[in-house]
Amino acid sequence: MNVTLATWVAFALTVFLFSALPGPNITYALNQGLQFGFRGAVRGCSGSMFGLGLLILGYALGLAALLREHAGVIPLMQLLGGLYLGWLAWRSIKPARGGQIEVAETPSGRAMPQARTRSRFRDGLSVALSNPKVLLFIASVFPGFLLANREAGPQLLVLGITWVTIDFIWQLTYAGAAGSLRRWLYSPRGRTLVSVGTASLFGFWAASLIVEALADILPAG
| Alpha-carbon span 156 to 154, nearest angstrom | 5
Using CB atoms within 10 A of its CB, is residue 157 exposed (0-12), middle (13-18) or buried (19+)? middle
Q: Could you report the per-residue pLDDT of 23-63, keeping only the tens digit for each? A: 888 888 988 888 888 888 898 899 999 999 998 888 777 75
- Highest mean pLDDT pick, 107-116, 119-128, 178-187, 193-202: 119-128
pLDDT of the residue at 105: 45
pLDDT of 13 > 50? The answer is: yes
Q: How many CB atoms lie within 10 A of CB 144?
A: 10
Q: Where are the domains of the chain?
A: 17-217
- Global confidence as pTM: 0.70
Using CB atoms within 10 A of its CB, is residue 137 exposed (0-12), middle (13-18) or buried (19+)? middle
Tell me, what amino acid is at 169? I
